[in-house]
Structure 1
Amino acid sequence: MAERKLEQRSFLLCLVAVTGLFLLLLKPFFAPVLWACVIAVLFHPMQLRLQRAWGDRPNLIALTTLLACVVLLVIPVLGVLASFLQQGLALYQQIDEGDIQPGQYVDQIRSAFPALQALLDRFGIDMEKLRSAATGAVVASSRFLAQNALAVGQSTFGFFLKLALMLYVAYFLLRDGSRLTTALVDALPLGDERERLLFRKFAEVTRATVKGNLLVAMVQGALGGLIFWILGLPAPLLWGVVMAILSLIPAVGAGLVWLPAAIYLYAVGEWTSATVMLAYGITVIGLADNVLRPILVGRDTKLPDWMVLLSTLGGLAMFGINGFVVGPLIAVLFIAFWQIFSREFNEPTSVSDQQQLASPETAE
C-alpha cells in the first residue's frame, strides 16, 4: 500500500511538471490559441446548425464554419487595422513636422476658459506642467502608434504566421471540440457534473464577453467616427478605432476621446459643433454603452457591473488586449468555484437555503 501511494504521488508530481512545461511551451502562442478557442465557442451554434442540415460531415462543416469566420471577422478587422495604422502614421508625421502642435490646443483651452486657470491655481496645479505633460503624452502616443505601425509592416510574416496558426487551431477545435471536451471531463478529477458546469460557464462567458464587448466597441467606434466625420474633424477613422478600443473599458471608454474634442471645440469658438458633439456623446454614444453592455455582457455572464469593470481592467493590465476576455472569464470561474463549494461543502441551515443551493442557476 505504501509503495502504491508513493507511485501515485510520484506520477502526479510528474504529471504536474509535464503539464507546466507544456503550458510554458505554449506561452509564446497564448494569443493565437486563446482566439482559436474564442472562434470555436462563438461559431459553435453555426456549426450545430450545419450538422443538422448536412449530417455527419465534420471536416466540411468545420471548414465551412472557419471560412464564415474569415469572411465575417478576419477580413474586416484586417481592413480596419490597416487604415487605422495608416492614419496613425500620418498623424505622427504631422506632429513630428510641426504641422500639429498639441501645446497650442492646451493654450487655446486655457485662454477660452479663464475660470479653469483659476480653479487649477486653487488646487495648486501648474498649468505649464499640465501643458507639458499633455504635449508629451500626445507625442508619445503618436510615436508609439507609428512605431507599432512600422513594426507591423516589418514583421508582416510573423503577424500572418500567428494568424494562420490561430485559424489552423480553430479548425481542429471546431472539428474535434466535442470530443476534446468529453476527454477533458473524463480526465479531470473534479467530478463530471462540476466539470460540465465549468465548461458551460467558460462557453457562456466567452460568448457573452466577446460578442457583447466587440459589438459595443464596434457600435461606439462607428458612432464616434461618424460624428467626427460629420463635424469635419481630422482622421475620423483613426479616432473611431481609438474610441472602439477604449470602449472595451466599461463606464469610461469612448468619453476619453469625444469629451476632450467637445471641450476643444468650445475653446476655439465652434459652439454649435461643440454642443452637437457633447449632446451626441452623452445621448447616442453613451446610451449605446449604458444600454447594450448590461444586456449583452452583464446579463449573460451573471456578473454585476462593478465586477465586469474591475475584471476587465485587471485583465487588460495583466494580459493586454486579450484581457477583456480573460479577466471576466477568471471572475466568473471564481464565482462558479465558490458557488460549487457553498453548495456541496456547507450544510444548509434552513429549508430556503436547501432550495437555493439545490439549483446552481438560482444562485447565479
Structure 2
Amino acid sequence: MDTKRHNQRSEQVHLEKVTFLMTLVLVSLLFLLLLLPFWGAIFWACIIGLIFSPMYQRLLRMGKPKPNLAALGTLLICFVIGIIPSLFVIISFFREGASLYNRLKSGEFDIADRIDKVQTAFPSIKNFFDRFDLDINSIQAQLSDFALTSSGYIAQNALALGQGTLQFFVALGLMLYMAFFMLRDGDKLVATLVRALPLGNEREYLLFNKFAEVVRATVKGNLLVAAVQGILGGFIFWVLDIHGALLWGVVMTLLSLIPVIGAGLIWGPVAIYLFAIGELSHGVILVAYGAGVIGLADNILRPLLVGRDTKLPDYIVLLSTLGGFSLFGMNGFVLGPLVAALFIAFWEIFIREFNTSKSGNASME
C-alpha cells in the first residue's frame, strides 16, 4: 500500500512539474510576443549596455557616484558621441537620396547613357556578356529601374521620416530608457539568467563572456571600419567632384559592414565609368586610392578589431556576416558573427567535457 501511494505521489509530482514547465514555456512565449514590436529598441539597448558597460564601471569608480547618476552620465556620453552624429548623417543621407531621385526622374542623371559610354569604351564587356548569353540591354534596364526604385524608396522614407518624427523619437527614447537599466542592472540580470538556465554556472558564465566579447568586437570593430571606409570613400568622391559624395559615402559605410567586398561595390564601377568617359587621371586616382587606402583600412583594421577579439577566422566572419544580413537584415552584422561564435563555443565545451573519456581511452590504448 505504501509503495502504491508512493508511486501515485511520484506520478503526481511528475505531472505537476511537466504542467508547470509547459505553462512556463507558454507564458514565456507570450511575453516574448508582447516584446516583439519593440525588438529593435531592446536589441540595441542591450548592445549599448554591453559596449558602454566599462565606461559605466569607470564612472562608478571615479567619484563614487550613485548607480543612477553613473548610468545617466554614460548615456549622455553615448548620445553625444554616437547618436547625434548618426542622426545628422541619416538626415543628410535622405536629403541626398531625394535629390538623386529627382535627378533620375527628370532625366538629368541618365543611367542608360552612362552604361552606353562604358560599353563603347570597353567593347570587351559586351563580348563577355555575349559569351554567357546575357542581354546587356536587359541588364541596363534593370539597373535603371533599380536606381530609380531605390532612390525613390529613400525619397519616400525621407518624407516618412519627417512625418514620423514623433514615432522615431519615441523609439529612440525607449531604447535609451532600456539602455539605462541595462547599464545599471546588467550584472544582476546576468546573475539571474545564470541561476535560471540549467546549463551549469561555469558554462553559462563562459557563454555570457563570449557573448559580450563578440558583441563588443563586432559592433565596435565593424562600425569603426565601416565609418572609416565611408569617410575615406566620401572624401575621395568629394575631391574628384563626383556628385552626391555624402550619399555614396553613407552607402559605402553600409556596404563596408560586409567584409572584403563592401566599399568596392561602389568605387569600382565609378572608376570604370571615369575611364570610359576619358577621365583617366581621376580613374587612376580612384583605383589607387580605393585599393591602397580604402581597401587597406579594411585589411588592417578588421582583423585587428573583429577577428582577433572574436577569435573567428576571417572566412567565418565573412560567411556569418553575409548569412546574418540575409536572415536578420541590418542587425545581421552583429547577430551573424555572434551565432557563429556561440556555435564554436558550444562545440568547444562539448569536446572538452563530453569527449574526454574517448581521448583518455585512446591514449591508454
Q: Distance in 2 between matches of 1:286 and 1:348?
A: 48
Q: How many Å separate the matches in 1 of 2:152 and 2:328?
A: 22
Please say which of residues 169-178 and 123-132 is displaced more in the overlay.
123-132
In 1, are the aligned partners of 2:221 and 2:306 still within 8 Å (CA)?
yes
Cα deviation 1:294-323 (Å, max 9, x = unaligned): 111111111111111111111111111111
How many residues were matched structurally? 354
Inter-partner Cα distance in structure 1 for 2:340 and 2:234: 32
Q: For residue 106 of structure 1, what is the aligned residue in structure 2?
A: 115
| 1:8 correspondence with 2:17 | yes
Residue 271 of structure 1 deviates from its aligned partner by 0.1
Q: How far 1:350 sits from its partner (Å)? A: 4.7
Higher mean C-alpha displacement, 164-173 vs 145-154: 145-154
Report how far residue 54 of structure 1 moved. 2.2
Secondary structure of the residue aligned to 1:12 is: helix
Give the aligned residue type for 1:187: A
In 2: Cα distance, 1:233 partner to 1:181 partner: 50
SS across alignment from 1:300: helix
Who is 1:126 aligned against?
A: 135
Q: What amino acid is aligned across from residue 37 of structure 1 in structure 2?
A: C
Question: Aligned partners of 2:357, 2:225: CA distance in 1, in Å?
Answer: 41
- Taking structure 1 as the reference length, the TM-score comes to 0.94
Task: Provide the rounded CA distance (Å) in 2 between the counterparts of 1:334 and 1:15.
Answer: 26
Residue number in structure 1 paired with 2:196: 187
- TM-score by structure 2 length? 0.94
Give the equivalent residue in structure 2 for 1:52: 61
Worse overlay, 23-32 or 120-129: 120-129
Range moving further from structure 2, 139-148 or 191-200? 139-148
- Tell me whether 1:230 sits opposite 2:239 in the alignment: yes
Q: How does 1:122-161 map to 2 (within 5 A)?
A: 122-161=131-170
Match of 1:360 in 2: none
Q: Does 1:305 align with 2:314?
A: yes
2:271 maps to: 262
1:249-284 Cα shifts (integer Å, max 9, x gaps): 112100010000000000100000000001111110
SS of the residue corresponding to residue 232 of structure 2 reads helix
What is the match of residue 52 of structure 2? 43
Residue identity opposite 2:48 in structure 1 = I
Q: Is the Cα contact below 8 Å between 2:272 and 2:283 reproduced in 1?
A: yes
User: Residue 206 of structure 2 is aligned with which of 197, 201, 204?
Assistant: 197
- The alignment partner of 2:177 has SS state of helix
Shift in Å, 1:73 = 0.4
The whole-number CA distance in structure 2 between the counterparts of 1:302 and 1:20 is: 33
Query: Secondary structure, in 3 states, of the residue corresponding to 1:24?
Result: helix
Residue matched to 2:100: 91
CA offset digits 1:155-211 (Å, max 9, x no partner): 111111111000000001111111111111112111111111111011101100000
The letter for the 2-side match of 1:213 is N
For residue 268 of structure 2, give the secondary structure of its aligned residue in structure 1: helix
Taking only the aligned residue pairs, the percentage that are identical comes to 56
SS of equivalent residue, structure 2 residue 356 = coil
CA distance in 1 between counterparts of 2:323 and 2:158 reads 26
For residue 116 of structure 1, the aligned residue among 108, 112, 125 is: 125
Question: Residue 252 of structure 2 corresponds to which residue in structure 1?
Answer: 243
Which residue does 1:339 correspond to in 2? 348
**What residue ranges of structure 2 are gaps of 5+ in the alignment?**
1-9
Q: Which residue of 2 aligns with 1:66?
A: 75
SS at match of 2:340: helix
**Distance in 1 between residues matched to 2:320 and 2:160, nearest whole Å:** 30
Which residue of the partner structure matches residue 298 of structure 2?
Answer: 289
Q: Give 5+ residue unaligned stretches, structure 1.
A: 355-364
User: Match of 2:172, as an amino acid?
Assistant: L
Cα distance in structure 2, aligned partners of 1:302 and 1:168: 32
**d(CA) in 2 for partners of 1:248 and 1:346?**
37
Q: Partners in 2 of 1:131 and 1:319 — Cα distance?
A: 30
Q: Structure 1: how far apart are the matches of 2:160 and 2:322?
A: 26
Quote the offset at 1:121 in angstroms: 2.1
Q: For each residue in 1:192-234, what CA deviation from the matched residue of structure 2 results, as whole angstroms up to 9, or x when unmatched?
A: 1111111101110110000000000000000000000000000
- 1:362 aligned partner: none
Residues 257 and 333 in structure 2, CA contact (< 8 A), matched pair in contact too: yes
Q: CA RMSD in A?
A: 1.5
* 8 Å Cα contact 2:93-2:246 kept in structure 1: yes
CA distance in 1, matches of 2:281, 2:319: 37
Which of the two has higher C-alpha Rg? Answer: 2
C-alpha displacement at 1:119, in angstroms? 2.5
Partner of residue 36 from structure 2, selected from 18, 27, 30: 27
Shift in Å, 1:348: 4.8
Is it true that 1:169 corresponds to 2:215 in the alignment? Answer: no
Task: Quote how far apart the aligned CAs of 1:118 are.
Answer: 2.3
CA shift, 1:115, in A, is: 2.1
What is the CA–CA distance in structure 1 between the aligned matches of 2:210 and 2:184, rounded to whole Å? 21
Please give the per-residue CA displacement for 1:36-87, whole angstroms capped at 9, x wherever unaligned. Answer: 0010111111111111112261011001001000001010100111111111
